[in-house]
Amino acid sequence: MAKLNANESRDVILDSITEGVFTVGSDWRITSFNRAAEGITGIPREEAVGKRCCDVFRANICEENCALKRTMESGEPVYEQTIYIVNAEGQRVPISVSTALLKDEDGKVIGGVETFRDLTLVEELRKEIEGRYALGDIVSKSHRMQELFEILPEVARSDSTVLIEGESGTGKELLARALHDLSSRADKPFVAVNCGALPDTLLESELFGYRAGAFTGADRDREGRFARAEGGTILLDEIGDVSPAMQVRLLRVLQERVYEPLGSSEPVPADVRVIAVTNQDLEALLNSGRFRSDLYYRVNVVRLVLPPLRDRKEDIPLLVDHFIQRFNRLRSKSIAGVAPEALALLMQYDYPGNVRELENTIEHCFALCQGSLIRPRHLPERVRPQSEATPSLPSKVQSLRDLERWFIMDVLRRNNYHRLATARELGIHKTTLFRKIKSLGLKVPPRGAD
């Protein structure tokens, strides 16, 4: 039997590997290219060998942040960095790359090697999960949010006035936009106005417009937000801050569906769907006499309440992944995810600024993270207080499933294995907790059971 020479043996070995592998010399020209690399890139070995690797891969990091170049310059390998390449058909393909140096018998660097695997299936699964847990730009798998998702199409199809309550940063405007987009008015304007940011005189002209001569400087007619929203939806943000006098004007619009621009006595019809939004408790304002009861019952036809993020912490990993994908696109970066220790810190924080604060936290991490994983050192100090040590994770925590097991057991222990108290702290329904305990195979002592 004929013996294989060194190059042939190398090719046989490389072709048996399911990951793409290629090597380059010191001139950055490809010296070997295995069968899996051909399949992922769509480029035959004969075409790739001899070309510069940047001409073959056309990746988003080739020009400025080449992983192999970093390894060749620093001597440090790169592990599992997510990037995008362009295949032979011009399609963007997500891959995960790792790099190492090639040395001769004397230890001299003669080139580099890069292995890469196709993440297309992973990306498709991520999109499927996001599609399952997303409504418009809102992402959640919390049972309370899923209940909202279920009724939202029905609410959108009606033309009733909607009141959305929730703390600042919970996504009230996103919910209002989703209502508009699901409604028969979707092809008409969506107009938002912050009622709490303007004094009465300015708010009145902003909402209803004015006629020429209505006041000094009004040299021509100006349409208001109700006119701009004609046929569509108007969002009245922070309606709880509106003065009693302005509440009377809004009441007439909701009751009679007409308004009068400043300086005019002619009523103008308003074909507009009204969504009112507040971070206050309108019922409490009603009871204290600061909000008119007739206006309260006009805006509170359908009431939707967005829970704070601290009450739905099971959404944090999903939201983190959602924001990482968004900032990867905006910043042209390739961050693959969050290290388990960093995610543990993110899960423990209570987010007084809610989803908006979590988004800002991930944006902060993007400014500091130069690798493929967000780590505790990239988090803002408020999330990793200096007075507290980073949660010590067991060495067996190697995946998000392991982290979820560890995190749920930690919360159970803190609550003396009381299931209902644990479910409340996690922001999930008790039956969801039971289901997770069973699916994760957790051994929970009976003490504290409900």
**What's the pLDDT score for residue 8?**
63
Indicate the length of the chain as a whole number: 450
Counting residues of the chain whose pLDDT is more than 70, the rounded percentage is: 86
| Distance, CA of 401 to CA of 438 (rounded, Å) | 13
pLDDT tens per residue across span 16-41: 788 889 999 888 899 889 998 888 88
pLDDT tens per residue across span 84-137: 788 888 888 888 888 888 888 888 888 899 998 888 776 665 555 555 666 767
Q: Which tokens is 53 given?
A: 């690797």
pLDDT tens per residue across span 311-321: 888 889 889 98
pTM: 0.64
Q: Which domains are seen in the chain, by residue range?
A: 6-118 (3.30.450.20), 143-306 (3.40.50.300), 310-387 (1.10.8.60), 393-450 (1.10.10.60)
| Distance, CA of 137 to CA of 172 (rounded, Å) | 11
